[in-house]
Amino acid sequence: MEFDSIECVSSSDGIEEDEIPQLHPHIIRSQFSSSKTTTHKNNNNNNGSSILCDGNNGGIVIHPATSVHELLECPVCTNSMYPPIHQCHNGHTICSTCKARVHNRCPTCRQELGDIRCLALEKVAESLELPCKFGSLGCPEIFPYYSKLKHEAACNFRPYNCPYAGSECAAVGDIPYLVTHLRDDHKVDMHSGCTFNHRYVKSNPREVENATWMLTVFNCFGQYFCLHFEAFQLGMAPVYMAFLRFMGDETDAQNYTYSLEVGGNGRKLIWEGTPRSIRDSHRKVRDSHDGLVIQRNMALFFSGGDRKELKLRVTGRIWKEQQNPDEGACIPNLCS
């Protein structure tokens, strides 16, 4: 749903059998295999490295030149494998997610996979320590193999999702990339300064269809903030809501405070709070009502006139809490 007019003033699953890739995965023979000792040559390695597997003991001997990371790579999705790691009777391994996708059929030899675990390879994984996959984005951490996924799910260096709420945008990236993406791809209004004054006009405010109406991005204190204003249905009646999100992590968002004010006819509502990080989705923030919420009747009262047209003016400011080194107290730093 679009505004009739907006004025902005800134004061500054499955995979078919034919689709299964014919790859050459690493062959691991564990205690479920025959007692024959097998040497598997790594044809892709110019050093002629090999993997020696003992079927009787379920042991695995990896020659130094062989990449253990390659052994733990699923031949279908190419992601790292985590327990349970499955194998067919011929020793070909596959991750548990892809086992279901390939309809329990080995993608290499087409044999039925069954429920055979490759315990030897799982044991090898326990001894590994790997860097975070977001190392190229600045994360210096190294973790045991089985702890790596948990860290990466909450890593502060992981990419951010696009904060635009008007569509299901799949773009991800760092903050500079997302700012450019919002400006060029979503045509979002960009403003500099830490105070704002928006006027929202809607000719028929009784027609609300859970629509996101507006997103504006502000550059303030060298950081970026997303100001959302929208209408959505709450129970049987529509409400209007404005809230701010910080383009960064939650710990950094705690350094800032913002206020929003709307009023008319000698009355006003004021909201003050901490901006939420864009790590929290737009819907999560909206559904928590963490912002300035205006009931329809109150919004029409603020609009004045015959109450048939929505005319809301929302003003606000952002400030940064700074620590007073002498008293240990936080004092506001207002942006001019």
Question: Using alpha carbons only, how large is the chain's radius of gyration in Å?
Answer: 28
What pLDDT, on a 0 to 100 scale, did the predictor assign at position 166?
Answer: 66
pLDDT tens digits, 276-321: 999 998 889 988 999 999 988 888 888 876 766 778 889 999 999 7
pLDDT of residue 192: 94
Q: 214, 324, 318: which is closest to 272 by C-alpha?
A: 318
Mean pLDDT of 262-289: 91
Within 13 Å and on the Cβ side, how many CA atoms surround 271?
A: 18
Instruction: Tell me the C-alpha to C-alpha distance, in Å, between residue 162 and each of 12, 155, 179, 247, 297.
Output: 25, 17, 9, 10, 33
Residue 27 has pLDDT above 60, yes or no: no
DSSP state of 81: P
Which amino acid, residue 103?
A: H
How much is the pLDDT for 335? Answer: 52
Cα 215 from Cα 212, distance rounded (Å): 8
Which secondary-structure segment (H or E) carries 287? helix 282-287
Q: What does each C-alpha distance from 170 to 16, 33, 41, 137, 178 come to in angstroms?
A: 26, 44, 41, 19, 11
**158-210 pLDDT tens trace:** 999 999 976 678 999 999 999 999 999 999 999 999 998 888 777 765 565 54
Interval 134-155: pLDDT, tens: 988 889 988 888 888 889 988 9
Residue 246: CB atoms within 10 A of its CB come to 25
Which residue has tokens 């009931």? Answer: 295
- The pTM score is 0.65
